[in-house]
Amino acid sequence: MSDLEFDLFIIGAGSAGVRAARMAAQRGVRVAVAEDAALGGTCVNLGCIPKKLYSYAAHYGEAFEESAGFGWSHVAPTLDWSVLKANRAREISRLNAVYRRLLDEAGVTVLAGRARLVSAHEVQVDGRIHRAKRVLVATGGRPVVPVLPGHELAITSEHAFDLPQFPRRLVVVGAGYIACEFASIFRGLGARVTQLFRGEQILRGFDDDIRSFLASQMQLQGVVQRCRVQVASLQRVADGVELTLNDGSTLVADQVLYATGRRPNTHALGLQEAGVALSSQGAILVDEKFCSSVPGVYAVGDVIDRIQLTPVALAEAMTLVDGLYGSGQRRIDYEGVPTAVFTHPNVATVGLSEAQARERCGQVRIFRSEFKPLQHTLSGSAQRTLMKLVVDARSDRVVGLHMVGGEAGEIVQGFAVAMKAGATKAMFDATVGIHPTGAEEFVTMREPVMA
């Protein structure tokens, strides 16, 4: 194999692909990465970063209103959608350039074009074949819209950031974190938002107290939530898009945003032709070392569909590169991965839900606190905070920590470290809180609400 052009060829320059490319190149590995879109993948261009920027934007509307309780007088503000879009686009372009500079400085060959796997050691990009000792597929995932009459009229999260006109009436279909985030964001920006979902409650898989509490808070903010309904069809009408539901009722919106799931980006990559095994959902099947069914072909990130979070994809990329070109000591632990949902208010969680803990641990103790944050004693807002601890009664270890409230993600990140270290409830109790903060509530809850 002396005619190999590269040691590692990476398909996809999202979070996982870029991290793997940089780490490998810094170890002297000859690396190429192919990408047919903007560098940075979904997170930078169409996901985490623009979503968080729009979440910040949405908070300002309520902040202006709440400031009156603190003595500020003002004229009611208005949103200039075009300014928000332009400023977001400028920041994303800056990040694209940062990614390119990092790859260039590491010595990575960047190829702009659609890549296709030809064999275990050959990748075709725009008609040219490149040979490599190893190939890494890091193409991420994409949102999907179910096929139904008029489905082409719907948009996904990838379209929501750059709509020509701000949708005054928005219907969001779905109950997962993406659906809830966009429902909250557009409501905060001033849209009338209706959220439709077929289940009983939002955020399946999260702790039940968190689910119901967030739903009530979103409704308080003005998001109309309708459960146990499905969309039967969409059609264009004079004043927008009309949705017909399975119960026969109809409603009209300016835009219909589907957030009902994502699928791995494995279509038209030549994977199956090359012998790479896929799951029924199209994910690449890999072993504990991220190797596919074809020796020499690896995959990480959303394309393997384990936990669809950017930090997990980064961790997988670093683990793979360390295994191939380093000490091989790095491991990824999928237990206790913290996550946040940037709704209004935010949600953050780490560890087990109450139901999961009862199943795994048997006897548990539950500590829960609901309160009005100090800020809102003057703001006039009815928003409240919920904090919850789930404790294994036998070991006293805190196995679940959950929060709905302002800056939940910032607060829970630190507690995630403590839980990874095996912190017990006694350790929480022995920790002095920072007053006055919301975070101190996690170390001052003394009486369990149930066992």
Residue 74 confidence (pLDDT): 77
Residue 4 confidence (pLDDT): 83
Residue 1 confidence (pLDDT): 45
Q: Give residue 312's pLDDT band: very low, low, confident or very high (50, 70, 90).
A: very high
Mean pLDDT on 379-388: 96
Contact 239, 252 (CB under 8 A): yes
Mean pLDDT on 374-383: 95
Residue 2 confidence (pLDDT): 47
Mean pLDDT on 22-28: 98
pTM: 0.96
Residue 352 confidence (pLDDT): 98
pLDDT in tens, 336-357: 999 999 999 999 999 999 999 9
Residue 76 confidence (pLDDT): 79
Residues assigned a catalytic role: 435
Q: Does the pLDDT of residue 217 top 60, yes or no? A: yes
How many Å apart are CA 179 and CA 120, to the nearest integer?
Answer: 38
Closest by CA to 383, choosing from 393, 398, 373, 396, is 373
Closest by CA to 309, choosing from 14, 43, 12, is 43
How many Å apart are CA 90 and CA 235, to the nearest integer?
Answer: 35
Q: Which residues contact 331 (CB under 8 A, 6 or more apart)?
A: 319
Q: Which amino acid is at 287?
A: D
Best-predicted range by mean pLDDT among 2-16, 56-70, 89-103?
89-103
Q: Give residue 3's pLDDT band: very low, low, confident or very high (50, 70, 90).
A: low
Domains of the chain: 6-142+263-325 (3.50.50.60), 151-260 (3.50.50.60), 345-443 (3.30.390.30)
pLDDT in tens, 181-198: 999 999 999 999 999 999
Mean pLDDT on 384-405: 98
**How much of the chain, in percent, has pLDDT values that exceed 70?**
99
- Counting every residue written for the chain, the total comes to 451
CA dist list (Å): 144 to 66, 137, 157, 193, 258: 38, 20, 10, 21, 8
Q: What is the mean pLDDT of the chain?
A: 96
Q: Which residues contact 298 (CB under 8 A, 6 or more apart)?
A: 134, 135, 136, 137, 286, 289, 290, 291, 292, 320
DSSP string covering 159-172? HHTT-SS--SEEEE
CA dist list (Å): 178 to 13, 77, 182, 278: 22, 27, 6, 25
